[in-house]
Amino acid sequence: MYKIALAQTDAKLGDVATNLQAHLEWIKSARAEAVDLLVFPELSLTGYLL
């Protein structure tokens, strides 16, 4: 069985460095919880909101 998690981020528009750090924290937390697949929102690194 796979463990899947969805990341609900608060992306900052155009601030890739800050968004990347937030993604890395999500990944670190997911690893600690033995998550097999972590899914981020589309364009969450650039902060572009649809």
Tens-place pLDDT, residues 1-50:
999 999 999 999 999 999 999 999 999 999 999 999 999 999 999 998 76
| DSSP letter (8 states) at residue 48 | -
What's residue 42's pLDDT? 93
- For residues 49 and 4, give the distance between their C-alpha atoms in angstroms, rounded to a whole number: 23
Residue 44 backbone class (left: φ over 0; alpha: ψ -120 to 50; beta: rest): alpha
pLDDT of res. 31: 99
Query: What's this model's pTM, rounded to 2 decimal places?
Result: 0.87
